[in-house]
Amino acid sequence: MDCSLWPRYAYNPAAVTNPAAVYSQPFTSHTGVNQLGGVFVNGRPLPDHIRNRIVELAHQGVRPCDISRQLRVSHGCVSKILGRYYETGSIRPGVIGGSKPKVATPKVVQTIAAYKRANPTMFAWEIREKLLEERVCDAENVPSVSSINRIVRNKSAMERISERAIHQSAFLPPTAPYSINELLGFEHPNKGTPDGMQIPLQNGANSRNA
């Protein structure tokens, strides 16, 4: 992944030099202490500078368990932040309550389909980077790799169904302008005949009956 595409945030390394200072902020909500001695606030995400530090340490090759101990943040929280960052490129927390903004807009879906048609071997992460490069999306609303894969699968399935329908319709026999009965001279079904048909009489018979 091109590091130049990662979102940049203001970050002050001095703010996290002392792990204890990280959590020595005045909180108005209910606070608690985790098993590592770190302070957390119920219902509130970690501050952005802590999230930035987690990502920065991960880029330096520090393992999540070591990041957890160093910053006194639970291992699950570290893993969740890193997982979200690797998937979306953003360190921002998810939406708490309400509905998330729709990222797979018709424009984005059509653009992804156009990329795939132009280059069928293009990977989902390459499509994601191209969406950012061409400013179709930004770091906050670009679809994740898994979402792009799902969009590509759905579009491919719909195109296959459409192609199959066109192919089948090309081999259907043309509809005849006349029915077999009309070509043979039969009239419409009549209840008076055993088989529901009335065979026209010959000219001679018609003249005798007349």
Q: What is the CATH number of domain 3-88?
A: 1.10.10.10
37-73: buried (b, 16+ CB within 10 Å) or exposed (e) per residue?
ebebbeeeebeebbbbbbbebbeeeeebeebbbbbbb
Check: CB of residue 67 under 8 Å from CB of residue 81: no
Please count the other Cβ atoms lying within 10 Å of the Cβ belonging to residue 2: 8
Q: Give the position of tokens 């653009």.
A: 111
From-to residues of CATH 1.10.10.10 in the chain: 3-88, 106-170
Confidence at residue 164, expressed as pLDDT on a 0 to 100 scale: 64
Q: What residue type is assigned to position 168 of the chain?
A: Q
* Contacts of the segment 126-129: beta carbons below 8 A, 24+ positions apart: 127/152, 129/1, 129/2, 129/5
**The most confident of 6-15, 94-103, 153-162, 169-178, by mean pLDDT:** 153-162
Mean pLDDT of the chain: 67
Q: Is 108 helix (H, G, I), strand (E, B) or coil?
A: helix
Cα dihedral 82, 88, 91, 96, rounded to 10, equals -100
- Contact, 61 vs 34, CB < 8 A? no
For residue 19, the model assigns a pLDDT of 43
Per mean pLDDT, which range of 48-52, 75-79, 99-103, 158-162 is the poorest? 99-103
Q: Which residue has the higher pLDDT, 143 or 6?
A: 143
Q: Say how far apart CA 53 and CA 67 lie, in whole Å.
A: 9
- At position 51, the amino acid (one-letter code) is R
Mean predicted confidence (pLDDT) in 7-27: 42
Distance of alpha carbon 148 from alpha carbon 154, whole angstroms: 10
Give the percent of the chain with pLDDT over 70. 47
**61, two tokens:** 């090759």
Of the listed ranges 39-48, 130-139, 183-192, the least confidently predicted one is 183-192
pLDDT higher at 121 or 46: 121
| Residue 33 DSSP SS3 | strand
- Bridge partner list, 31: 41
Fold classification of 106-170 is Arc Repressor Mutant, subunit A (1.10.10)
Q: In the predicted model, is pLDDT for residue 202 greater than 60?
A: no
Query: Is a pLDDT exceeding 50 seen at residue 21?
Result: no
**Cβ neighbour number for residue 149 with a 10 Å cutoff:** 15
